[in-house]
C-alpha cells in the first residue's frame, strides 16, 4: 500500500501505464492490510458479539476513509490554489500574453471555462492547459506523499497485532448448509 500509492508521486502525464501498475500495487496492498485485520477481529470475537464486531469494523473503516478523504482533498485543494495561478501566469506570459490578459486567462483556466479561453490565441490556450495539467500533477503528488504518512502508521499498527493462534480452533459460530 505505502509503496504503491507513495510511488505514485513520481507520475507524470506521459506515463499512464506506470500509474495503472502503481494503482494496482497500492490497491492490492490496501486489501493486504484491511482484510487480515478484519479477519482477525472476526476470529477472536465471541459468538454473541460477531455481528457487532463486524459492524464496528466496517464503521471504523468508513470513518477512517472519510477522514482520509477530507485530508487528501484539503491537501489537494490547497496545493492547487497555491500553484495554479502562478504556473498559468508564467506559462501564458512565456507564450506571449500581455500582462492585462493574465487575470482573465488564469481565471478561465482555473475554472475550466473553455469558452473564455477560446478568445485567446491557440498558443496561449495550449500554454494555459499545460500549466493547469502541471498544477494538477503537483497537487496529486502532494496527496500521494501525504498518503505515505497514513500508510506508515497503518504498517506500524499492524506490527502490534498479537498472536491469535490460541483462537484458531475448529469452532464454527454459524453453520450454514
DSSP states of 28-95 as a string?
HHHHHHHHHHHHHHHHHS-GGGHHHHHHHHHHHHHHHHHHHHHHHHHHHHHHHHHHHHHHHHHHHHHT
- Per-residue pLDDT band for 75 (boundaries 50, 70, 90) equals very high
Give residue for cell 500554454.
Answer: 127
pTM of the shown model: 0.80
What pLDDT was estimated at residue 37?
Answer: 79
In angstroms, the CA 41 to CA 34 distance is: 11
Is the model's pLDDT at 21 over the cut of 80?
yes
What pLDDT was estimated at residue 115?
Answer: 92
Average pLDDT over residues 133-140: 95
What pLDDT was estimated at residue 157?
Answer: 84
Which of these ranges, 13-17, 21-25, 26-30, 68-72, has the smallest mean pLDDT?
A: 26-30
- Per-residue pLDDT band for 127 (boundaries 50, 70, 90) equals very high
- Per-residue pLDDT band for 171 (boundaries 50, 70, 90) equals confident
Is the model's pLDDT at 176 over the cut of 80?
no
Is the model's pLDDT at 155 over the cut of 90?
no
**Percent of the chain residues past pLDDT 70, beyond the cut:** 100
Average pLDDT over residues 64-71: 93
Amino acid at each position: 500500500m505505502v509503496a504503491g500509492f507513495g510511488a505514485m508521486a513520481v507520475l507524470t502525464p506521459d506515463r499512464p501505464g506506470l500509474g495503472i501498475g502503481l494503482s494496482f500495487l497500492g490497491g492490492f496492498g490496501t486489501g493486504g492490510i484491511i482484510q487480515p485485520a478484519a479477519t482477525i477481529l472476526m476470529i477472536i470475537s465471541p459468538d454473541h458479539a460477531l455481528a457487532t464486531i463486524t459492524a464496528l469494523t466496517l464503521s471504523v473503516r468508513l470513518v477512517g476513509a472519510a477522514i482520509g478523504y477530507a485530508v487528501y482533498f484539503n491537501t489537494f485543494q490547497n496545493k492547487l490554489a497555491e500553484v495554479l495561478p502562478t504556473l498559468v501566469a508564467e506559462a501564458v506570459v512565456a507564450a506571449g500574453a500581455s500582462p492585462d490578459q493574465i487575470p482573465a486567462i488564469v481565471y478561465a483556466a482555473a475554472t475550466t471555462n473553455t469558452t473564455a479561453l477560446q478568445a485567446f490565441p491557440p498558443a496561449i490556450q495550449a500554454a494555459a492547459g499545460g500549466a493547469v495539467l502541471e498544477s494538477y500533477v503537483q497537487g496529486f503528488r502532494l496527496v500521494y506523499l501525504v498518503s505515505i504518512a497514513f500508510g506508515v502508521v497503518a504498517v506500524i499498527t499492524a506490527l502490534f497485532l498479537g498472536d491469535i493462534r490460541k483462537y484458531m480452533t475448529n469452532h464454527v459460530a454459524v453453520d450454514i448448509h
